Amino acid sequence: MKILGINSVYHESAAALLVNGELVSFIEEERLNRYKHGKNAELDNPHHLPVQAIKKCLDIGGLRFSDIDSFAFSFSREGRKQNIGVDTFFKPGGWGSEEGENIFHENFLKVPAALSELAGYDVGERLIFVDHHLAHAASAFLCSPFKEALVLIVDGIGEFDSISAYVGRHNQLGKIFALPYPHSLGFLWEKICKFLGFSEHDACKLMGLSSYGDPEKFRDNFLKLAWPDSSGLFKVNNDIARFRSDDFSALEELFGPARAKDAHIEMRHKDLAATLQQFTSQRILELAQKLKKQLRLNKLCLAGGTALNCVANSFLQKDGGFSDLFVQPAANDAGSALGAAMYVWHGLNEQPRGFAMKHVYYGPEYSEDEIKRTIKQAGLKAEKVGEAGKRAAGLIADGSIVGWFRGRMEAGPRALGNRSLLADPRRADMREILNKKIKHREEFRPFAPSILAEKAGEWFDIPGSSLSQEFMLLTFPTRKKNHEKIPAVVHIDHTSRIQAVNRETNPDYHQLICEFEKLTGIPMVLNTSFNDSEPIVMSPEDAIKTFLKTGIDALFLHDYMILRQDGR
C-alpha cells in the first residue's frame, strides 16, 4: 500500500511517501523551491501544494500518481471557521476576522481540486483529511520506538487547538485533552519574536538570546500577559498579546518600546527572551509531569513547532521523570505530512508497527555523474579523493571551514551531517567567523557540536539516553573540565545542543569525526547547516552557489574536493 502525506496549510510545506509502512522519502518544499518555509502562511494559499516535493517523493519511490492508494492531508476538512469571533484585535480582512477566516476556509476547500489537477485524475475518496494535531501526534508516536507513551503537541495553532495530548498505544492514538487558541505558546513566541525585531519564524534566535538574560526581571509584568492556571495549563491575555495584529502598544506598556529590525539589542530584550523561555519550559514540564502522574506512562513523545525548543526539551528529559523521550526531528508543520501518512497506515488501516525513525536521511541523493557534470558546468576544478573524511578532518583541524555534502538530504530544520558546514570547535574565534563571514547572522547565535555517540557522556552531562540526542533537539551542560577545550560550541550558559553521531546511521560522518579525533584528541566537530540566509542546500548546484558566494574554504561533494584557491 502506497500513501502520500501532504502538508500545505500554513508553512513548512512538505510531502512524505510510505510504502507498506516504510518511509521511502520525506522532503520539504523549501529545499526545492529555495523559498524559506516553502511559502508564507496566507489566507489565500492553503491549497498551494508542495508540488516539487510531491513529485520528488514519487520519483524517489519510482511511482506515478496513479500508484498512490491514499493521499493523506494534515488538516481537518472543517478548516478554521471556528476561529471567527475569538480575536478582538485583527487587521480588517485578515486572520481572525470573519472575512479573512472565510477566505481561508474557501481556499482550503480547493485542496481536492488542486490535488486532482496535479495528479491528472479525480483523487476522490483517495484523499483523506487528518486533524492537524493528530497528524503531529502520529509523526511523534508512530515514528518512535515506544509501544506506549504520552504524546504532547505544542505549536501555534492547528485547526483551533494550540496544545493537545494523546495516549499512544501500539498503533492507535487517543486524544485526552486540548487547549484552544488564543492560549498558545507558539503564538507567544511568534509575537515576541516580532516585538523584538525578528521575524515570526525566528524562535531559534530568541532561544539563543534567552541565555544572556535574567528571567526574573520581567517576571511580574509577563504574568499579566500569560500566567499558569490551576489546571496545570496556562492562559494568555490576547487583549495584550493581540496575536492577529501588528499592534505592540499593550506589550510596550509592559516591556518598553518594541525593537526595530537591526537595532541594537538591549539588556531588556535579553531579559524578555529569558522570561519567555523560562515560562515555556515550566509550563510544558508541569503539564507533562501532571499527565504522567495521572496516566502512569513512562515514555514521552513530542511534536509541534514548539517541540523544537531544545532548552524546554532538556528540562523534560532531566526533570520530567520519564524513562525515555522522543521528539520528532521534523517537529514543525513539515512533520505533519509524515504523520498524516503514518496515521492512515496504522490508525485507519490498523497495520502493525515496525518502523522507527532512527535517522532523517530521506531526501534526494545525487550520482557521481550528476556531481561531475555540475562541477564542470560551474567551471570549477575538483579532485577526486580517497578517504574524503580523512582529508576533510585534516582541513578542519588546520582551521578551514568545510562544506560537507554527502548522501541523502536531511528532513527537518537541522543539518545532521549530510548538508553541513563543519569547523574546528577548539577555536574561540570560529563562532564569530561563521556568524559574520559565512552565515551573516547575529553574533549571539550559538553553534552545535556533532560528537561521536560513544563519547558524548565524557564531554557533556547527559541525564539519560534518548534517540533524539542524534537530532540536535536537546541541550546539555558541558562538563567543567571541557569548557575551555571547545569554546566554539559552548553557549554562554555552558550548554551545547549536541548531535550524537551514530556509526550505524551515518558511517561516513562518524568516520570523519573519528579522523578529527585522531588529529586533535577532540571527538567532535562544529556542525552548522550548509546555507547562507537561505534554505539548507539540497543539490550540488545549491552547494556550489553557496560555496562561491561565501568564505567557505573547501567543498566536498561526495568524494570530489574543491578548494577555495582552485575554485576561483
pLDDT at 378: 96
Domain assignment present for 249: yes
Q: What is the pLDDT of residues 117-176, one digit of tens each?
A: 999 999 999 999 999 999 999 999 999 999 999 999 999 999 999 999 999 999 999 999
Is residue 275 within 8 A of residue 213, CB to CB? The reply is: yes
pLDDT higher than 70, residue 488: yes
Specify the CATH number for the domain of residue 79: 3.30.420.40
pLDDT at 134: 98
Per cent of the chain over pLDDT 70 is 99
Domain assignment present for 362: no
Q: How far is CA 184 from CA 162, 226, 406, 536, in A?
A: 5, 9, 39, 28
Degrees, nearest 5: CA angle 509-511-516: 100
Residues spanned by the domain of 399: 368-567
Q: Are residues 376 and 320 part of one domain? A: no
Domain count, the chain: 3
Determine the Cα–Cα distance for residues 279 and 185; give it in Å rounded to an integer: 9
Averaged pLDDT of the chain:
96
Q: Could you write out the three-class secondary structure of 447-509?
A: CEEEEEHHHHHHHECCCCCCHHHHHCCCEEEECHHHHHHCHHHCCCCCEEECEEECCCCCHHH
Q: Are residues 341 and 214 part of one domain? A: no
Q: What is the pLDDT of residues 329-349, one digit of tens each?
A: 999 999 999 999 999 999 999
H or E element that contains 30: helix 30-33
Where among 286, 316, 348 does a domain terminate?
Answer: 348
Q: Are residues 558 and 423 part of one domain? A: yes
Q: What is the pLDDT of residues 367-406, one digit of tens each?
A: 999 999 999 999 999 999 999 999 999 999 999 999 999 9
pLDDT at 80: 60
Higher-pLDDT residue of 79, 491: 491
Domain assignment present for 159: no
Per cent of the chain over pLDDT 90 is 94
Q: Are residues 100 and 56 part of one domain? A: yes
**Rounded to 5 degrees, what are φ and ψ at 438?**
-110, -55
Domain assignment present for 203: yes
Q: Cα 170 to chain center, whole Å? A: 26
Q: Are residues 226 and 287 part of one domain? A: yes
Alpha-helical runs (H) found in 297-367: 310-319, 334-342
552 contacts: CB under 8 Å, gap ≥ 6:
401, 402, 403, 421, 438, 546, 564
Domain assignment present for 378: yes
Average pLDDT of the segment spanning 536-544: 98
Q: Are residues 542 and 398 part of one domain? A: yes
Strands 226-228 and 172-180: unpaired
Specify the CATH number for the domain of residue 204: 3.30.420
C-alpha cell at 118: 496535479
Average pLDDT of the segment spanning 469-476: 97
